[in-house]
Chain A
């Protein structure tokens, strides 16, 4: 069974940094494209970032470009999101997602999410 377990969320001040992690199991991690999707409290879904299976290609939403960095460690079956220069509007539940095989931007599996709160 596929498991995606996020960690690293919490309360941070504006301008601060957080690093989210996602531990993956139950599938061959190195074969799948991965993404982060977030959801602000009471709001809809927003795609944040994508990384290819090898880690050679990454894409970002304009709202986080230049501040967030996605990465992965295929040897450790882990996905990361380094979040710098945090803003109040980054407050959200952050979901780690696995794409369908060969169609990585259909989010077939989701973690339970980790809450990031940016507030002074």
Chain B
């Protein structure tokens, strides 16, 4: 099973600042990685797939990068509505697994 480790656990930033979230895989997943955003009481929303492709309707301030074992989700300029938990997930093999999540707090 591929283990995805996300860091930091919590990120506390002000509006307009840049957020950088990390996801590290225990073995290579090539580019087979997605990022999701989950707000309290809501289902997750797909943000990024194939490591760097934005899903439909996702604002341009969200970007993904990386390959192999190291991936990054960047929010270029934080908006108040970006307060959420962000999860990475791979589809390189079975079982699919998620990271434990990074909570982004807006000061």
Contacts and interface: CB of A to CB of B under 8 A. Distances in A.
B95 A59 contact: yes
B7 to A, nearest CB: 14
B98 A110 contact: no
A24 to B, nearest CB: 15
Interface residues of B, number: 23
B71 interface: no
Contact of B87 (A35, A44, A60, A113): A44
Contact of B91 (A61, A62, A103, A112): A103
A45 B44 contact: yes
A100 to B, nearest CB: 7
Contact of A47 (B56, B95, B100, B101): B95
A17 B38 CA distance: 29
A73 interface: no
A106 B43 contact: no
Interface string A32-51: 00010000000011110010
A35 B44 CA distance: 14
Given A45-B36, A61-B95, A107 B46 contact: yes
B40 to A, nearest CB: 11
A105 interface: yes
A106 B44 CA distance: 12
Interface string B40-58: 0001111001100001100
Interface of B: 1, 34, 36, 38, 43-46, 49-50, 55-56, 87, 89, 91, 94-101
